[in-house]
Structure 1
Amino acid sequence: MIPLGLLVEQLAQERALAQAERRAAIVVSVLAVTTDPNAVEQVIASAQGDTPAENGGGGQLAVHGLAEQPLGTSYAATTDLTRAAQQQHTVLAPLDDGVAYLEPVEIGDDQLAVVEVHVPSAALRGGVWAAWGALVVVAAGLVLGSALVGDRLANRMVRPARSLADAATALGDGALDVRVTLSGPRELAEAGYAFNQMADRLAALRTAEREMVADLSHRLRTPLTGLRLDVEALEAAEADALAAHEPRAGGYGYPAADDDDRYRTLARVRQALTTLEHEIDVLIRTTRQATQATADEPPPPGRCDAGEVVAERMSFWSAVAGDQDRPCEVVVPPTPAPVRVPGAELAAALDAVLGNAFRYTPQGTALEVAVSRHDGWVAVRVDDAGAGIADPDRALTRGASDQGSTGLGLDIARRVAQTGGGSVSVGNGRLGGASVVMLLADAEAPPPSAPSRRGLIGRLTREPRLSRRS
């Protein structure tokens, strides 16, 4: 804006000098025709009245050399007039109020006249201050406009950055459901996307951790079930012995004091079992209620022989079944049945299913556990002769139970089956009760696109097998 202001000032001076040159040219043209002082004086008076007011006005004309006194009003110094006459070209003489435009003119042999035009300061600066004012307004508008645009651009970057910072603070305070709306420059949008992925991962990890705690707690039911059954067997044996007055050391029956001690011991064990089961239920329910969404985290990679795992676990469950007078048949193939599941995970899933069967079916109910390998799949089937499962879909829902339990047993089996590339199905078995089948992908063969549970299980009776009864 400063160069523009200086240019306007220069243009105003050139305009005023050009006006003075035109007025001087009028007088010069008259002198070329006549040198009569009276005529020249009339021309001067006429020219002075034509001074534009917007150019400062008041410009005075004078002619020197026609008479002893200058014609018109003179402002120039004698030295400036002499210099103009000697140099014989236009001279601009500075004055206290403007400049004097001096134009020498030949009016005869060796005779010169000098035409003087007074250009006041107002004419030299005509319109300059208005132009400077306009430039200042424009400059202020540009500054304010650039500040406004800069603020909007900066706000476009600051708002997403502030939102990301607030979300990070909320996430640090434990609000795992907080997410960032992607906006702003590309870099901030990428940072917000990475933050959302991190928050999703953290939520999934916490969910998986809580579910793992619930699943591990549920595994404690297996030894608790066996211990409870042992206590019941001891109570039944004690009752039978006392009823039959079976001979013991020291005579028939037991002394009253020994009977009381034994019954008190059994009561304390039963009470301890009840308390422990209650505490495990509380732990499972607490972790389940704290979980807001299900995150199926893949377990550590592993591989095992399903037949070997089933045979090992049934050595424990067969003993329990024998104590309860349960007919128990175990069917495993003579060849390995490899699956892509760690042995501990498959054993935990089998324990969860068998634990439900022992818990929710009466003593003496028959059981059958079978392993089959066919068409790229390995099936682990648990059948019982109980009342069956009324709502199979609800039974497979995590945390849902119609028996007052935690509802995690079948869900553990489902997750293990999904880890092994398969699924779990619940239906009615050939023993008349519930049938739970875990289909697992064969580790040595690609699975088919659509496995058939009924066709696979139906072939169990036609395949070579190793059977053991308890």
Structure 2
Amino acid sequence: MTAQGVPLRRRVLVVIVSVTALAVALFLVPLAIAVNILYHDQTVAALQRDAAWVATAVPDEAARDAGAGLKLPARLSGELAVGGYAVDGTRLFGEGPARSPLAASSRDGHVHDMVENGFLAVSAPVPSDEGTALVIRVATPNEQIDNRIHQAWLLMGGLALLVIALAAGAAVRQSTRLAAPLERLTTAAQALGGGDFSIRAARSGLREADQAAQALEATARRLGDVLARERAFSADVSHQLRTGLTGLLLGLESALSRPGADLAPAVQAALARGERLQEVLDDLVRLSRDSRAPAEPLDVDGLMEEVRQEWHGQLARQGRRLTITVEPALPPVTAQPAAVRQVLHVLLDNALRHGRGEVAVTVSDVGPGIAVEVSDHGPGVAPDSDPFIRSSGHSHGIGLALARSLAEAEGGRLVLSRARPPLFSLLLPGHDT
């Protein structure tokens, strides 16, 4: 798979190296100019000292005698060249050009310097009672100064390259550290797109990348849960709606099988059952997709009245009683009515299909919440079996598994308090008013 754009590793490397090179250049260029000026000024100062020393050592009559008999060293130190000049710039003795504009400029009695004939030279007037009659010129090859400057520049350039190389190494390391977690996140996202909801992105120590990894893992878990609910939804809905749909069809078939029978009551009963099935289907679809309704106090009395109207007739047709007991002054409970209604629907349908005798629904105060208990006098559940296991071969496991999931989604629990005769308890936590 290809992607457009510059890779992060290269981008970080280019940015860091470019910024480092720019910083080094901004620092190095002024420093190189300063080194050039420094070496030049140092050499001029040294030449001025030598010229002043020679000027004080030369007698006044050296100008008249053109330096006859004057003994001056040809080199004071290193590559220095010393010469005596008249005020018009003509060389009288020593080394140097035959005519020196630099020496002529010192007729004003001041020390001057300039690059002359490839030499950095300094001219100093010889003090005399009659004014300036002789000028001493001291020079050194300018090439030596340039070599020193160039050596300093080479050293600074080497150090600059070393700094840039170190910056490049740090940039490679940092770009790898930054890109690696993003690459792992990309791999994890691709796995998530392929249906792997168990992805785990390794922690990198980078807060932003770790936060993104945690968000991706949470999203994967969320998607996995949603997909699992969607996959189980068809089986759960089939189980929950089978009884009602079967009763609706049987009622219509029974009415049609009686010649001359009045079909209006059968049609009305079918419509009532159809509306009830539609309510059940809407509730299950909404709850399976985790569409959370705004929190609201649960109307226990109203919910029990719905239970009475829906199940009293069905149990009575089997010759069984429905008893509903609600304790007074129950603590307030917040839950989705649709979720609690579906849980009770599963429990009562289970009691209707698999139980015997009287069915009792009891709502009691259990401290911080309430307990809604559903019991009958049937054979119950075998001690070694789990009624909440989701299995198509189990007589009631699919519906009870769904009921437990709905209860847990509301922050409650659905437990089998007694196996024989069966007693199921729906525990719902209370809330502060």
State the alpha-carbon separation in 1 of the partners of residues 56 and 427 from structure 2.
119
Give the alignment's TM-score, normalised by structure 1: 0.60
Rate the CA distance shift 1:28–1:219 in 2: closer, same or farther, 3 A: same
Query: What are the Cα deviations for residues 332-384 of structure 1, in whole angstroms up to 9, with x where unaligned?
Result: 45999999644454223321344344xxxxxxxx5331223444544221221
**Aligned: 1:390 with 2:378:** no
Mapped to 2, the partners of 1:82 and 1:441 lie a distance apart of: 112
Deviations 1:281-309 (A, max 9, x none): xxxxxxxxxxxxxx995886875533652
Query: Match for residue 351 of structure 1?
Result: 349
CA distance 1:391–1:100, change in 2 (3 Å) = same
Aligned pair partner of 1:437 in 413, 416, 424: 424
Structure 2 CA distance for aligned equivalents of residues 74 and 333 of structure 1 = 128
Match of 1:117 in 2: 138
The alignment partner of 2:360 has SS state of: strand
Following superposition of structure 1 onto structure 2, how do residues 70-469 of structure 1 map, counting pairs within 5 Å?
70-75=92-97, 77=99, 79-84=101-106, 86-92=107-113, 94-107=115-128, 109=130, 112-181=133-202, 183=204, 186-222=207-243, 304-306=302-304, 309=307, 312-313=310-311, 315-317=313-315, 319=317, 321=318, 328-333=320-325, 341-342=337-338, 343-357=341-355, 366-375=356-365, 377-384=371-378, 386=379, 388-391=380-383, 394-399=385-390, 407-415=397-405, 419=410, 421=412, 423-429=414-420, 434-439=421-426
- Name the CA shift for 1:224/1:39 in 2 (closer, same or farther; >3 Å): same
Partner of 1:245: none
- Cα deviation for residue 165 of structure 1 reads 3.6
Equivalent of residue 36 in structure 2, options 9, 16, 21: 9
Tell me the equivalent position of 1:467: none
Three-state SS of the structure 2 residue aligned to 1:112 is coil
Distance 1:331 1:211 in 2: 33
Report the Cα distance in structure 2 between the residues aligned to 1:14 and 1:62, rounded to whole angstroms. 21
Deviation string, structure 1 residues 126-146 (Cα, Å, up to 9, x no partner): 511110001111222222333
Please report how far the alpha carbon of residue 121 of structure 1 lies from its aligned counterpart in structure 2 after TM superposition: 1.3
Q: CA deviation at 1:179?
A: 4.0
1:406 positional shift: 7.2
Q: CA deviation at 1:99?
A: 3.4
Change in Cα spacing, 1:336 to 1:308, as seen in structure 2 (3 Å) is farther
Partner amino acid, structure 2, of 1:398: I
Q: Is the 8 A contact 2:32 2:153 kept in 1?
A: yes
Gap change, CA 1:310 and 1:209, over 3 Å in 2 = farther
Matched-pair contact (CA < 8 Å) for 1:332–1:372? yes
Point out the more displaced range, 175-184 or 128-137: 175-184
Cα RMSD, aligned residues only: 4.3
What stretches of structure 1 of length at least 5 have no aligned partner? Answer: 231-294, 323-327, 358-365, 448-470
User: Kindly tell me: are residues 20 and 373 of structure 1, through their superposed partners in 2, closer, same or farther at Cα, counting changes over 3 Å?
Assistant: closer
Structure 1 residues 372 and 99 mapped into 2: Cα distance closer, same or farther (>3 Å)?
Answer: closer
Q: Contact 1:98–1:119 (CA<8 Å) still a contact in 2?
A: yes
Partner of residue 40, structure 1: 70
Give a deviation string over 1:390-443, Cα, whole Å, max 9, x none: 326x42442369x755732433444455559453325354xxxx323334559x
Give, as a single letter, the amino acid of the residue that structure 2 aligns with 1:197. Answer: A
CA gap of 1:166–1:395, structure 2 versus 1, over 3 A, is: same
For residues 148 and 401 of structure 2, what CA distance do their matches in structure 1 show?
91
Point out the structure with max Rg over C-alpha: 1
Structure 1 counterpart of 2:345, one-letter code: A
Does the residue aligned with 1:395 lie in a helix, a strand or coil?
coil
**SS of residue in 2 equivalent to 1:176:** coil
Contact 1:399-1:408 at 8 Å conserved across structures: yes
Structure 1 pair 414–436 and aligned structure 2 pair: CA distance change class (3 A): farther
Task: State the one-letter code of the partner of 2:377.
Answer: D
Q: Provide the residue aligned with 1:51 in structure 2.
A: 77
Contact residue 121 and residue 139 of structure 2 kept, 8 A: yes
Does the CA-based 8 Å contact 2:83-2:96 persist in structure 1? Answer: yes
Task: Specify whether residues 20 and 126 from structure 1 end up closer, same or farther in structure 2 by C-alpha distance, changes over 3 A only.
Answer: farther
Over 3 Å counting, the alpha-carbon distance change for 1:105 and 1:313 in structure 2 is same
1: CA distance between counterparts of 2:196 and 2:139? 85
Letter in 2 for 1:410: L
In the TM superposition, what is the alpha-carbon distance from 1:62 to its structure 2 partner?
1.6
Query: Where does residue 26 of structure 1 map in the other structure?
Result: 53
Query: Alignment partner of 1:391: what SS?
Result: coil
Aligned equivalents of 1:158, 1:20: Cα separation in 2: 60
- Residue 257 of structure 2 corresponds to none
**Retained in 1: the 8 A contact 2:417–2:423?**
yes
8 Å CA contact retained: 2:55, 2:136: yes
Q: 2:358, 2:377 within 8 Å by CA — same for their partners in 1?
A: yes
